Structures are given as structure tokens and as C-alpha cells.
Amino acid sequence: MNKFTHYYFLGIGGIGMSAIARYFKHAGYDVSGYDRTPSPLTKELEKEGITIHYSPMLEAVPKDIDHTFVIYTPAIPSDFEELTYVQEQGYTLCKRSKALGEIAQNQKCLAVAGTHGKTTTSTLLAHIYTHSGEGCNAFLGGISKNYDTNLLLSKNPVLVAEADEFDRSFLQLYPSIAIITATDADHLDIYSTHRHVIEAFGMFASQIKPDGALIVKQGVEVPTEHVSCNIYRYSFNTLCDFYGSDIVALEGGYFDFTINYPHGKIEHCTVGVPGWVNVENAIAAAAVAILDGLDKEAVKKALATFSGVKRRFDIHINTPECAYIDDYAHHPNEIRAAVSSMRDIFRGRRICGIFQPHLYTRTRDFADDFADALSTLDELILLPIYPARELPIEGVTSEIILDKVTIPDKVLIDKEHLMDTIHTRDIDCLVTFGAGDIDRFIEPIEQYLKGCLKK
């Protein structure tokens, strides 16, 4: 990559793409790119000096073919005119995952994989290294609330990476230590069957360096016949290599707990964000830090100061009169876990969920599971499917979820009517779920609910 002076990104506003764009901008290269729509993230990139356009524009592609490297996300359609142009003109180009793999090659890579939980766990891990003073370079799948970015930079040649299973992207990484949080059925448009998903995680695990370590959540299936490194298990409270014990529930959904690890323990740990799921994520992140030799007291202090990740069980309002949480959950198990945590934190409250399904294929494949998870709410406001990279599938709409939801208080509405619908409701505890453009409603919802509290 040394001969290139310009890095051009197709889909620069994606969370993974933007971190790589920031990396090359910080390294002193010219960086520009295309994205379909402006967002808070693209606005931040523009503030940092990165030029972005939002309609296909061939004249925006740098003309110096020999010194321009094009990085694209698999979410970009294969017939997108700018992608077709750079392919035909002979530009050097690769997918985001390969670019991250190249960056990780010469560093100690600490990777966090899993069909859910990987963003919070990788951000926790990056925070442990940064807060402890060890430092790391981190490419995160969300915006860390401690640092207000998805990219951390350090002189320490340790790289924390979120290892994404979509499009088999994580097979570009060869970690020293890796976590696998879950291997649920997902991305069946790519893998076709759950068995193929599990096999891909097995391939990822086989790429861990022989003198490294694999840390897998207790009960999660990962084929290990080709894994040559040490294998450990972690759990919230089940006896294994790394697990929590002496767990005491505190006010507000927080916990005091002990992290047990081979030949030792760290007592009276807390995590700076609520929910039992975050205790489990913290144990996984701590396991990596402990195996890598970080000071145990530094690990404990870092966990207590963790502020969370934007759009990951992100509490915007928390008062006795009204609460509002936003969560990126777009898989049934993620929704189920989030509602479970909310029941712990907001005991006895009436929970209203707004859910925007993400992808036609995911809706088709998991309609029953989505309905089951959403039925754990008290009220449901369902939005149409966010298509992302997909074309419509006949007969696949949000209605196939709605029809199977068992709670009586349920409604399907267009996005244009969402705020009006909220205005008509007596909101006690509200949560927004989804990986599409539902995030555009976070600020209006928060401002409206805060205004209600002032009355």
C-alpha cells in the first residue's frame, strides 16, 4: 500500500469503512469517498477534512489511477456505476475486510467475532488497553462513548478489531487472540444454512496463531478440530475458565461481581454500563487482557469507567416518569437479551418497543423468532423493512412478523407517521431497535420526551 497517495472509499459512511478512512487520513493521505446519504458520521468525517459526495459522480473519483487505492464495502451493489468505473479503468481496489486485514498484518491482532455482542466486547477490550496506559489501535463497529470515535490510535502495535462474519469478512484476519461471542444463524443470504455459519466461525478460529488463544462463550458451538492454539471458555456465571461469581445486583441494573480466571480472581468488579449482558461481555474482554498479561487492577479500573457504545443499549433518558433506550439489535436473540436487561433495570415498567426490521432475507428467515422476541414487550410499534443492499422479496413484509406477535398492543406504521404515533402515547419506557435508518429518529424522540418531562 506504500505507493498510494489517495484512498477513495465507496460506502465511506459505514461504521467499519469510516474507521479505515479515518486511519488513512490520520496517516497523512488524501481521503475522499461516496455514500448514499448524509449522516452524523459522515458529517464528522467531513469536519476531519474528508471530502464526501452523496450522488454517483464519476468526476469525483481521483484521476491518478496508479496512486489511488479504492476500498469498497460489500453493501455497494455490484452494478454501482462508480464501482464499475474503477474496475474498468484498472484502479487497485479491494473490499473493506481485506484492507483491515492488511493493516492488521504487522500488529498483534486481538479480534472479537460473533453474531451478536462483538461491538460492545471489542470496545470494552479497546477501553481496557487504552485506560490502562498500554494503548492499542482499534477499529470498532460502533462509536465508543468514552472516546467519541470508532478509531483509536497508539504507538503500541496491538490492534483490536471487530471481526465481522458478514460476507466472510473475518477470514481476512489472523489474530493472536480471538473471542467468539455467538454463532447464531444469521446472514443466511450469504451462508444459506446455520451449519455453514458455524463452519465459517471454525475457519476463523483455525486462523488464530498457534501460540495464541481462542476464548469462546460457554455453550457456543465452534468447530475446533483445526484450531492449534489454546482454547478457553467464558460465562456470566457458569463454572468454566473465565466466569463471574459472587454476583450482587445493584440499583439501576448494575452488578458487583468477581471475575474468576485460571489460577486467580479479581474481586468486586463493576461495569460502567448496566445489564447482565455487559457483565458477560466484560468477562470476555477481561479474559483477553489477562491472557495478554495486563495488570489485573488496571483491568478492574477500566471496566468500572466504561461508558458504553452509541446505539448499543444506549440509555438516553432514565427518570421515574420516562425512560428511553436505543439499541442496534437487529437479530431476535439481540432483541430478547435487550428486553431481558430492561426488565431487570426498569422493574415493573411498561416497555414499548419500536422495531425496524433490517433486510428482506433476515425478515423472511427469522419471522417466527422476531415475533417471539417482540412478544416479550408490552407494546410494539413496527416499521416497514429497511432494505439496505437488497431488492424486495415477494410476500416478505413487516406484516409477516406482526401477524405472529402475541401481545395485543401492536401496530404497523410508516416511518412518516412515527413521531405522530409517539405523540399519541403515554410513554413509560421506550426502546428503539434496528440497524437501518431508525437512528435518524433518536434525536427527535429524545427531544420530544424531554419536552414532555418539563411540562
Bridge partners of residue 55, in order along the sequence:
none
Alpha helices (H) in 351-415, listed in sequence order: 360-374, 399-402
Which of 77, 96, 115 is at the close of a domain? 96
Cβ count within 10 A of residue 150 = 26
Q: Do residues 41 and 18 lie in contact, with contact meaning Cβ atoms separated by under 8 Å? A: yes
| 92-95 vs 68-72, strand pairing mode | parallel
- Cα–Cα distance measured from residue 342 to residue 345, given in angstroms and rounded to the nearest whole number: 5
CATH number at residue 64: 3.40.50.720
Relative orientation angle of helices 118-131 and 296-304, to the nearest 10 degrees? 120
Interval 349-385: pLDDT, tens: 999 999 999 999 999 999 999 999 999 999 999 999 9
Distance CA 455, CA 453 (A): 6
Contact by Cβ (8 Å): 32, 9: yes
> What is the rounded CA–CA span in Å between residue 451 and residue 49?
35
Domains contained in the chain, number: 3
Paired sense of beta strands 264-269 and 351-355, if any: unpaired
User: Residues 117, 241: one domain?
Assistant: yes
Q: Give the separation between CA 308 and CA 275, rounded to whole angstroms.
A: 11
Task: Please check whether residue 241 is in contact with residue 227, taking contact to mean a CB–CB distance below 8 angstroms.
Answer: no
298-307 confidence digits (pLDDT tens): 999 999 999 9
Q: Tally Cβ neighbours within 10 Å of residue 90.
A: 9
Contacts of 91 (CB under 8 A, 6+ apart): 8, 61, 65, 68, 69, 70
Q: Please report which confidence band the pLDDT of residue 287 belongs to, taking 50, 70 and 90 as the band edges.
A: very high
Same domain flag for 84 and 117: no
Reading the block at residue 345, the C-alpha cell is: 433495570
Per-residue pLDDT at 455 exceeds 80: no
Cα separations in angstroms, 38 against 8, 55, 140, 432:
17, 10, 20, 21
Contact 360, 395 (CB under 8 A): no
82 and 28 within one domain: yes
Does 119 share its domain with 73? no
Nearest 5 degrees, angle CA 156-CA 40-CA 373?
90
- Give the domain CATH number at 298: 3.40.1190.10
Residue 174 burial (CB count, 10 A): 16
As a whole number of angstroms, the distance between CA 397 and CA 241 comes to 44
Q: Diameter of the chain by CA atoms?
A: 63
**Residue 23 domain-assigned (yes or no):** yes
Q: Which pLDDT score, from 0 to 100, does residue 248 have? A: 97
- What is the Cα–Cα distance from 198 to 205, expressed in whole angstroms? 11
Could you tell me the CATH number of the domain that includes residue 450? 3.90.190.20
| Between 206 and 311, the higher pLDDT residue | 206
134 and 67 share one domain = no
Residue 270: closest CA among 294, 306, 217 = 306
**40 and 113 inside one domain:** no
From 277, 304, 331, give the residue that closes a domain. 304
- The domain in which residue 224 lies consists of 105-304
Q: How many CB atoms are located within 10 Å of the residue 322 CB?
A: 17
Report how far residue 293's alpha carbon sits from residue 44's, in angstroms, rounded to the nearest whole number.
35
Instruction: Please give the average per-residue pLDDT across 409-421, as a whole number.
Output: 97
Amino acid letter for position 278? N
Q: Residue 1's pLDDT is what?
A: 56
Q: Residues 323, 445: contact at Cβ < 8 Å?
A: no
For 168-190, what is each residue's pLDDT tens digit?
999 999 999 999 999 998 888 88
Q: What is the pTM for the complete model shown?
A: 0.91
Percent over 90 (pLDDT), the chain: 92
User: Do 205 and 256 share a domain, yes or no?
Assistant: yes
The per-residue pLDDT for range 396-407, each reduced to its tens digit, is 999 999 999 999
- Mention every residue, 6+ apart, whose C-beta is less than 8 A from residue 175: 109, 110, 111, 161, 163, 207, 208, 209, 212
Please enumerate in sequence order all residues whose Cβ is within 8 A of that of 16, keeping only pairs 6 or more positions apart, or say none.
73, 96, 100, 139, 141, 162, 164
Region 226-244 average pLDDT: 98
